[in-house]
Amino acid sequence: MTSLTTPPCPLLEMEGIEKSFPGVRALRGVDLNLQRGEVLALLGENGAGKSTLIKILGGAYQPDRGTIRIDGIDVQFANPAAANAAGIGIIYQEFNLIPGLAAWENIFLGRESNSGFVRRGEERRRAKELFEQIGANIPIDIPCGELSVAQQQIVEIAKTLSQDVRMIVMDEPSASLTPQEVAHLFKIIRDLKQRGIGVIYISHRLDEIFEVADRVVILRDGDFAGQALIHELTRQRMIEMMVGRKIQDEFPKHHHPIGQTRLSVHGLCRGKAVRDVSFEVRAGEVLGLTGLVGAGRTETARLIFGADRMDSGTMTLDGTPLQIRSPMDAIQAGICLLPEDRKGQGLVLGASVRENFALPNLHELSSGGFVRRRHERTAFAEFVTKLQIKIPHQEELARNLSGGNQQKVLLAKWLQRNTEVVIFDEPTRGIDVGAKYEIYMLMNELAQQGKAILMISSEMPEVLGMSDRILVMHEGRITGEILDAGTATQEQIMELAVA
C-alpha cells in the first residue's frame, strides 16, 4: 500500500498582496512564496514594487489586501519589531545605522542587555566573530559615520546575521562590495541555506542572480510578471521579462570617431590614496576606469573635480592649464562629476527636482538677483523630455525618484552648463536594466557630441561593454591600460586590479 504524504508548506507565503499610495497603485495582487533553504531572487525595474512588497513583509507598511503566512499560519505585522520577532531579517538598501556609534554598538543596538548592563566585552567579541564569518576586516570601534560605504554595508549584514532569523531579505547587498567580499557573502548565503534559512535576494547585477539564486520571481509595474527556476532562464530572457520588451543589446555601445585630447592629467597625488596618476581622455571617448573598491578611482575623480585638494599634479583642458582648487573651479572650466553617492553628494533630497536642476545654473537662470522661474521651468522641461525623466511634476522631491531618474536629474543640471568633460562614478549602481540602457544611450549621445567621458565602474561587464579604452587602478596607482576594450576580458582586468 502506497502512503501519501503532504508536502511541507512553504516557509513564507504572500498571496494577493495589494498596496496603493495617493495617486499610485504600487502592488496589484502579487503572490510570492519562499521555501526553507531556498534563495529566491526578486527582480524588477525600479518602481516595479519590490521595495513595497519587502516593506510589507518587514512590517514597515500594511497591505491594503492580501494574506501573509509563515509555516502555514496567517500572520500580521503591525510594525518592524513584530516582523523581526517572527524571524524575518531585512537588510535594506538604505542603511539603518547611527553614524556616531561604533560598528559593534550598531550591531547590538536595542539588544544590549538583559539585566540593565551593557555586555561590552561579549558584544565586541561577537562582532569580531561576525566580521570574520563574513570575511571582512572592519574596525569595530570606529564610528560608522567614518566607515566607507562598503564597510557600512558589511555592518548591516552582520547586524542581521546576529539575530535569530528564519528568513533574510537582502536588498542590493553587494552594491558596494569588492569581488572578494561578494564571494564571502555568497558563502554565507550557502551556509544559511544549509541551515534551512530562506533568503530573498534583490539585485540589479544579473550575473549574481545566476550564481546565487535557485528561483526567480519578477515584478513589473506592480504586477506579478512571472517566475522560473534559474536554470530555465537566460540573461536575455530575464531582462525581457523585467522590462516587458526586447532589448537587442544590453550594452549599446556606439563607436564614434575619437578626436584630440581634451582632458589631460599628469602626476596627480594625494597621500596614499592617489599616487602619480596620469592619463588623457579624448573627444568622443569613453575611458573606463576600474579596479577594486579602495583602489583610488573615486579619489582620483574627486581631485579632478576639486572636491579634494591634490598634493601635486597638473591638468589641462583642450591644452589650457587648469587651476582646480574647488568644485566651482571645475564647473566653470567645464568639468562635471556625477558622484558614486548620488543621494548624499549629488542631490539635495529634500528639495524639488526643479531646484536641484537649477542650483549650479542660477547665474544664467537669474536676473537682478531674482530667479526667473518661468525660464527655469522651461529649461528643465526640455531636459525632462530629452532625457525621459519620469516625474509627476517639477516640484517632486528628489528623494522620491528612482535611482535612474535621480541620475538623469544630475545629468540634466550639468548638461545645462554645456559641460565638456563628464565624470560618471558608478553611473548605474542601484539602477534597473531598463534605466541602465537609457543611461548608456545618453553616454553615446554625449560622446557623439565630442564630450570626453570618464566612466568609473566596478561592474566588469559594464566596463567592457561601454568603454573605448580601459585604465585599471590598484592601491592608488594605474597598473595597466587596455587600448581596445572590445578585445579585453574580465580575467585580464582582474589580473591588473590585484597587481
Backbone angles phi, psi at 190, to 5 degrees: -65, -35
pLDDT of residue 2: 43
Mean pLDDT, residues 218-230:
92
Mean pLDDT, residues 341-349:
87
| Measured torsion, CA atoms of residues 179, 184, 186, 187, in degrees rounded to the nearest 10 | 150
Mean pLDDT, residues 21-30:
86
82: pLDDT strictly greater than 70: yes
**CB of 335 closer than 8 Å to CB of 305:** yes
* C-alpha cell, 380: 528643465
Final residue belonging to a domain, choices 183, 213, 243: 243
Distances (CA, A) of 467 to 21, 141, 239, 249: 41, 40, 22, 15
Look at residue 256 and tell me if it is in a domain.
no
Mean pLDDT, residues 360-379:
78
Final residue belonging to a domain, choices 185, 213, 243: 243
**CB of 159 closer than 8 Å to CB of 80:** no
Mean pLDDT, residues 184-211:
89
291 with 212, same domain: the answer is no
Look at residue 3 and tell me if it is in a domain.
no
192: pLDDT strictly greater than 80: yes
pLDDT of residue 53: 95
pLDDT of residue 345: 87
Residue 278's pLDDT band (boundaries 50, 70, 90)?
Answer: very high
Look at residue 4 and tell me if it is in a domain.
no
Enter the DSSP assignment of 295.
S
283 with 223, same domain: the answer is no
Look at residue 370 and tell me if it is in a domain.
yes
122 with 234, same domain: the answer is yes
Polymer length of the chain: 499
201: pLDDT strictly greater than 70: yes
**CB of 432 closer than 8 Å to CB of 46:** yes
| pLDDT tens track for 134-188 | 777 888 899 998 887 778 878 888 888 888 889 999 988 887 677 777 887 888 8
Pairwise CA distance, residues 235 & 207, whole Å: 8
Q: Regarding predicted confidence, which is higher, 393 or 93?
A: 393
Look at 329-333, 416-420, 431-435, 481-485 and tell me which has the smallest mean pLDDT.
431-435
Q: Mean pLDDT of all residues in the chain?
A: 88
Of the chain, the percentage scoring pLDDT greater than 90 comes to 48
Final residue belonging to a domain, choices 193, 211, 243: 243
231 with 91, same domain: the answer is yes
Mean pLDDT, residues 322-337:
93
- CA–chain centroid gap for 233, Å, is 24
Look at 49-53, 87-91, 240-244, 334-338 and tell me which has the smallest mean pLDDT.
240-244
Q: What is the pTM of this model?
A: 0.71
Mean pLDDT, residues 16-43:
92
What are the residues whose beta carbons fall under 8 Å from the beta carbon of 247, sequence distance 6 or more? 236, 239, 240, 433, 434, 437
187 with 303, same domain: the answer is no
113: pLDDT strictly greater than 70: no
164 with 92, same domain: the answer is yes
Total domains in the chain come to: 2
Mean pLDDT, residues 268-278:
95
409: pLDDT strictly greater than 60: yes
CATH number of the domain to which 386 belongs: 3.40.50.300
- Beta strands 370-371; 366-367: pairing state: antiparallel
Look at 143-147, 208-212, 453-457 and tell me which has the smallest mean pLDDT.
143-147
409 with 474, same domain: the answer is yes
Pairwise CA distance, residues 416 & 375, whole Å: 12
The interaxial angle of helices 179-194 and 149-161, nearest 10 deg, is 10
Pairwise CA distance, residues 182 & 169, whole Å: 16
177 with 325, same domain: the answer is no
Residue with grid cell 519587502, as numbered in its chain: 54
Look at residue 251 and tell me if it is in a domain.
no
pLDDT of residue 437: 86
Pairwise CA distance, residues 170 & 190, whole Å: 14
29 with 159, same domain: the answer is yes
Residue 380: domain span: 261-497
228: pLDDT strictly greater than 80: yes
* C-alpha cell, 190: 550557502
Look at 1-15, 315-329, 449-463 and tell me which has the smallest mean pLDDT.
1-15
Mean pLDDT, residues 71-82:
93
Is residue 371 packed enough to be buried (19+ CB in 10 Å), middle (13-18) or exposed (0-12)?
middle
328 with 405, same domain: the answer is yes
Mean pLDDT, residues 465-469:
95
pLDDT of residue 114: 53
What are the residues whose beta carbons fall under 8 Å from the beta carbon of 168, sequence distance 6 or more? 89, 90, 91, 160, 161, 192, 197, 198, 199, 200
Q: Give 100-155 as a DSSP string.
A: TSBHHHHHTTT-S-SSSS--HHHHHHHHHHHHHHHT----TTSBGGGS-HHHHHHH
277 with 220, same domain: the answer is no
* C-alpha cell, 83: 516582523
110: pLDDT strictly greater than 80: no
Of the chain, the percentage scoring pLDDT greater than 70 comes to 95
**CB of 315 closer than 8 Å to CB of 324:** yes
* C-alpha cell, 324: 582646480
Look at residue 5 and tell me if it is in a domain.
no
SS3 373: helix
Q: Give 240-272 as a DSSP string.
A: HHHHSS--S-SS--------SEEEEEEEEEETT
Look at residue 6 and tell me if it is in a domain.
no
Mean pLDDT, residues 323-328:
93
193 with 121, same domain: the answer is yes
* C-alpha cell, 100: 556616531
Look at residue 432 and tell me if it is in a domain.
yes
240: pLDDT strictly greater than 90: no
Residue 117's pLDDT band (boundaries 50, 70, 90)?
Answer: low
1: pLDDT strictly greater than 50: no
